[in-house]
Structure 1
Amino acid sequence: MNIKNKKVGKQTIKLENPPKIISTYSIVGPKEGDGPLKEYFHQILNDDTLGKDSFEKAESEMMYTAIKSAISNANLREENIDYLFAGDLLNQITSSSFAARELNIPFIGLYGACSTMSESLSMASLFLDGGFGNYIVASTSSHFSSAERQFRFPLEYGSQRCPTCQWTVTGSGAMVLARNGDFPKVTYVTTGLVKDYGIKDANNMGAAMAPAAVDTIYNHFKDTGRTPKDYDVIATGDLGKIGKEITTKLLLDYGYDVKDNYVDCGDLIFDDERQKTDAGGSGCGCSAVVTCGYFYKKLMRREIKSLLLVSTGALMSTTSSLQGESIPGIAHAVAIEYK
């Protein structure tokens, strides 16, 4: 059997049958809804518990709502969806698994830490490009309160925040991908390498993840022959102000000047000074809601025609940090175009 190799370069796949993102949904908490991007989100919660008796249950409910609403916005039903790719930050990705148990959709759970939006979008795109379905959902979520008590301290502890700290976004995003339609399409997927430069400070995630973002963006350009000018926007996931600054400088060392079209979702979602979010936003939900809300609406309005989404993640756990391990980083890039 003669199977065409769709890989270009070392880490990138060019999609021969580019899947279309036909629908999205973004749901955020009150703090995110009070930020600069509030007009772009589909739903803003007044209560980040959603009436549940734990923050973890609330996070799962957010994801369930995002998935169901994205499917509805696409004028589809659950039985039309071939696969659900989803993940989150909680132990054993319980937010995703518990949301999936309420859905009649074959489920593939993923863990890429805060890179999971690009990871789920990548896998969904590859499945559709390969002909393994007609409609696939990609989703992820995070919740400030559930992440804080898992990775840092219980909220009741009242720990002091530092200038390099980031605020985990309470939110969930979901995308419905299809094989046909006049919608933004996924053209390239660049899978990242795990990079670790010895950062052990769990309160400085931007510095820990920036090298992975730089490596993935560099290899995407190298594999595809593209340059920063080929994209209206290059957006990393949740490096925040500090990680964004590091990434800009390191890419310039590689010969890529991105200062005119590079943004970071964690830097966009909050007004850091007014909302006291220090270095910016973080979490799986950060790039998810900014992409499903802000960027997707800009694409549909033709305000931008090309986006390189590079969600970033810190592949740590509470156990690894307590054992003195450094923090490995990962970043996956997805090219989305509507030309």
Structure 2
Amino acid sequence: MLQGHQSWRFENRPIIKGSATVVGPFEGQGPLANDFDIIHGDLMLGQESWEKAEKVLLEESARIAVENAGLTNGQVNFFVGGDLMNQIISSSFAARTLAIPYLGVFGACSTSMESLAIAANLVNSRSAKYVLATACSHNASVEKQFRYPTEYGSQKPPTAQYTVTGAGSSIVAHDGEGLAVTSATIGRVIDMGLTDPFNMGAAMAPAAVDTIQAHLRDFRIEPGHYDLIVTGDLSKVGYELANDLFAKHKIPMNQTQYHDCGMMIYDYNKQKVQSGASGCGCSAVVTYGHLLKRMRAGEFKRILVVATGALLSPLSFQQGESIPCIAHAVSIESGGST
């Protein structure tokens, strides 16, 4: 049901019936290692290329999520997913393997919540019984496409971020017990004129704040409605800028309540990640692994995940375009389906 101007309220409370996360070796050295289903010891995953390895990450997370939901691929009505590769090839080629009717989406690093919002809307409207929602990224494939190949060894500025190697998947179902997807706010494209692909956090922060502001307005609530509000991958630079914008717009955001996935997945004292993490897989694995685990343990009853994305491409950068950004918000609550 439409709520306000740009939000959906899921009155039927579709549930997350199963979820799974698969990550690479570097993510397995971080503080959230115990919250992932599979940690690979090799970035290549036994494949011939980084891109093929990324596809395998998604396929594995999807397989485990379906199994955790007690289903088979044949029971899943739709697969909604995307990634950062040109023409979202990781998701599309995985869809070939999964053989589930497929809706490919692209929201850059906001794809994790874009896919979850669409999946929940399909289930809430009774247009589907079970929907698979996914997002993935791979450090080597993404860095090669958007910045410089890892092998090039270029020095990165402090504002740069480290792309997560990981895939997160969930099965959204029309009924059952578990965590419920209760609402979503679809973001607007915000472009502040930034052009530096090594400063994505600053580019994305205004979009994150705009979506959070819209969500609070559409539902007529305050930030304190949630136990936790988490952005996708603003990391240190974008996180600080977002807090400045909250203060400017008089949004009463408590910094102990507000966190960022890009600052949670790595250990700044031990891992050289500059400003922090980024990539479609960042908010996907932190949400479907760490955050849902904490919710199931009773630590949080209600959270808002605001995945952030920079909608540039190698072609747009080469043509001197600025970086348009977007953020999509999804609320998840304990309590299951009605």
Q: What is the TM-score when the length of structure 2 is the normalising length? A: 0.98
Provide the secondary structure at the position in 2 that maps to 1:272: coil
Do structure 1's residue 269 and structure 2's residue 265 form an aligned pair?
yes
Q: Does 1:311 align with 2:307?
A: yes
Corresponding residue number in structure 1 for 2:16: 21
* Residues 1:210 and 2:205 are matched in the alignment: yes
Task: Give 1:323's match in structure 2, choosing from 290, 298, 319.
Answer: 319
Q: Distance in 1 between matches of 2:147 and 2:334?
A: 40
Give the CA deviation at 1:181.
1.2
Greater shift, 201-210 or 254-263, is seen at 254-263
Q: CA deviation at 1:28?
A: 0.6
Other structure's SS at 2:17 match: strand
SS in 1 for 2:26: helix
Partner of 2:287: 291
Counterpart residue identity of residue 46, structure 1:
G
The one-letter amino acid of 1:78's match is: N
How far 1:178 sits from its partner (Å)? 0.5
Name the SS of the counterpart of 1:275 in structure 2.
coil
Is 1:46–2:41 an aligned residue pair?
yes
Gaps (5+ residues) in structure 2?
A: none
Aligned counterparts, 1:243-262, within 5 A: 243-258=238-253, 259-262=255-258
Contact (CA 8 Å) 1:41, 1:293: kept in 2 or not? yes
Q: Shift of residue 249 of structure 1?
A: 1.4
Task: Provide the secondary structure at the position in 2 that maps to 1:185.
Answer: strand
Q: After superposition, give the CA deviation of every residue in 1:144-183 in whole Å (9 maximum; x if it has no partner).
A: 0000110111222111011000000000000001011121
Secondary structure at the aligned position of 1:101 is classed as: helix
Give runs of ≥4 in structure 1 deviating > 6 Å: none
CA contact (8 A) 2:31 2:266 kept: yes
Q: Check conservation: 1:248, 1:257, Cα contact below 8 A.
A: no
SS at match of 1:119: helix
The offset of 1:30, in angstroms, is 0.6
Paired AA for residue 244 in structure 1: Y
CA distance in 2, matches of 1:85, 1:233: 26
What letter corresponds to residue 265 of structure 2 in structure 1?
A: I
1:98 equivalent in alignment to 2:85? no
What CA RMSD, in Å, does the superposition of the two structures yield over aligned residues? Answer: 0.8
| Residues 210-252 of structure 1, C-alpha deviations (whole Å, 9 max, x = no match) | 0000000001001101111111110100000110111111112
Quote the offset at 1:273 in angstroms.
Answer: 3.1
In structure 2, distance between residues paired with 1:135 and 1:304? 25
> Greater CA deviation, 150-159 or 133-142?
150-159
Q: Say if 2:300 is the partner of 1:338.
A: no
Q: Aligned partners of 1:173 and 1:156: how far apart in 2?
A: 26
CA contact (8 A) 2:79 2:100 kept: yes
Are residues 1:300 and 2:296 paired? Answer: yes
Q: What is the identity percentage for the equivalent residue pairs of Structure 1 and Structure 2?
A: 48
- For 2:47 and 2:84, the matched residues in 1 are separated by 19
- The one-letter code matched in structure 1 to 2:244 is K
Match status 1:89 vs 2:84? yes
What's the secondary structure of 1:102's corresponding residue?
Answer: helix
Kindly indicate whether the alpha-carbon contact (under 8 Å) linking 2:231 and 2:307 is maintained by their aligned counterparts in 1: yes
For the residues of structure 1 that align with 2:34 and 2:152, how far apart are their CA atoms?
Answer: 34
User: Aligned partners of 1:322 and 1:70: how far apart in 2?
Assistant: 38
Q: Deviations over 1:53-108 (max 9, x none)?
A: 10000000000000011001111101110000000000100000111101121000
Residue 321 of structure 1: how far off its partner (Å): 0.7
Which amino acid in 1 is paired with 2:306?
A: V
Q: CA deviation at 1:257?
A: 2.5
Q: TM-score, normalised to structure 1's length?
A: 0.97
Gaps of 5+ in 1: 1-5
Report the more deviating stretch, 251-260 or 325-334: 251-260
Quote the residue 1:3 is aligned against.
none
What number of residue pairs does the alignment pair up? 334
Q: State the distance in 2 between where 1:159 and 1:55 align.
A: 19
Report the residue type matching 1:82 in the other structure. N
Inter-partner Cα distance in structure 1 for 2:74 and 2:180: 23
Q: CA deviation at 1:260?
A: 2.2
Name 2:168's counterpart in structure 1. Answer: 173
Cα-to-partner distance string for 1:13-42 (whole Å, 9 max, x where unaligned): 111211100111001111111001111111
d(CA) in 2 for partners of 1:253 and 1:306?
26
Q: Which residue does 2:217 correspond to in 1?
A: 222
Q: 1:338 is aligned with what amino acid?
A: S
Q: Please point out which of 50, 54, 73 is paired with 1:78.
A: 73
